[in-house]
Amino acid sequence: MFGQAIDKYAAPENAYTLAGRLAPWFGWVTMFLLLAGLWDSLFLAPADEEQGESYRIIFLHVPAAWMSMFVYVVMAGAGAVGLVWKVKLMDAVARASAPTGAIFTFLTLITGMLWGKPMWGTWWVWDARLTSELILLFLYLGYIALQAAIDDRRTAARAGAVLALVGVVNIPIIHYSVMWWNTLHQGPTIVRAEGPAIHISMLIPLLVMAIGFTTYYLAVLMQQVRCEILEQEKNSSWVRALAAGGK
The number of residues in the chain equals 247
Whole-number pLDDT of residue 247: 54
Q: Give the three-state DSSP class for 131.
A: helix
Rounded to two decimals, the pTM is 0.92
Alpha helices in the chain (DSSP H): 2-10, 12-39, 58-85, 88-120, 128-149, 153-167, 170-180, 200-232, 237-245
Whole-number pLDDT of residue 185: 64
Whole-number pLDDT of residue 207: 95
User: What average pLDDT is seen over the chain?
Assistant: 89
Q: What is the mean pLDDT of residues 43-52?
A: 82
User: How does residue 85 score in pLDDT terms, banded at 50, 70 and 90?
Assistant: very high
Q: What is the mean pLDDT of residues 53-82?
A: 94
Percent of the chain with pLDDT over 90: 65
Task: Fill in the amino acid letter for 190.
Answer: I
Q: What is the mean pLDDT of residues 143-158?
A: 96
Of 47-56, 134-143, 201-210, 223-232, where does mean pLDDT reach its minimum?
47-56
Report which listed range, 28-42, 113-127, 169-183, 198-212, is most confident: 28-42
Task: Judge contact between 233 and 239, C-beta under 8 A.
Answer: yes
Q: What is the mean pLDDT of residues 61-73?
A: 96
Q: Where are the domains of the chain?
A: 37-245
Close Cβ partners of 175 (under 8 Å, ≥ 6 residues apart)? 69
Whole-number pLDDT of residue 172: 95
Residue with more model confidence, 63 or 11: 63
DSSP 52: B
Q: How far apart are CA 241 and CA 230, in angstroms?
A: 12
Q: What is the mean pLDDT of residues 33-49?
A: 92
